[in-house]
Amino acid sequence: MSKQRHKAGTFVRLALADGSFGYGRLLAPPYLAFYNLRTESPDADVDGIASRSVLFKIAVNLLALKAWEPIGWRELEEDLIQPLVQFRQDVGDFRRCTIFDTTGNKRAAEPQDCVGLERAAVWEQASVEERLLDALRGRLNSAVEHLKVRLR
């Protein structure tokens, strides 16, 4: 796989399980942003895609990119180069959490401080596609629900 395929700013098109298409964009690897756009036929209008809101930003196993079609490139906008903030939660003691970002900042936190943040995880291709389709259809996603911060 060429390095060009993994260049930050590259747009990818995902074939979703229902036959429709979703769209993502490579941030600083391994992170991708996924857009609030679902089409019935393949679209490659990167300006139109970039104008849509971002549903979520997550770390993705870069092997997944082999399955997704690169459809163009554009310099990342300011909001897409901001550090991504995530959390970790201790398995043994759920009250112990850490909030951190992609620039190396981290701090201890209470579980309630983590509400609304992504749990640190690397998503596989099938899970990303299912999550994106669920989000585009307004459905809860079981993996997202499972990864939410535990409050008690």
Higher pLDDT, 83 or 4: 83
Q: Coil, strand, or helix at residue 3? A: helix
pTM across the whole model: 0.93
pLDDT of 4 higher than 70: no
How much is the pLDDT for 6? 74
16-71 per-position pLDDT tens digit: 999 999 999 999 999 999 999 999 999 999 999 999 999 999 999 989 999 999 99
How much is the pLDDT for 1? 38
Give the distance from CA 122 to its chain's centroid. 9
How much is the pLDDT for 3? 46
Q: Across the chain, what does the average pLDDT equal?
A: 95
90-106 per-position pLDDT tens digit: 999 999 999 999 999 99
How much is the pLDDT for 62? 87
**Which of 38-70 are b and which e, b meaning 16 or more Cβ less than 10 Å from the residue's Cβ?**
beeeebeebeebbeeebbbbbbbeeebbeebeb
How much is the pLDDT for 5? 55
How much is the pLDDT for 108? 98
110-151 per-position pLDDT tens digit: 999 999 999 999 999 999 999 999 999 999 999 999 999 999
pLDDT of 2 higher than 70: no
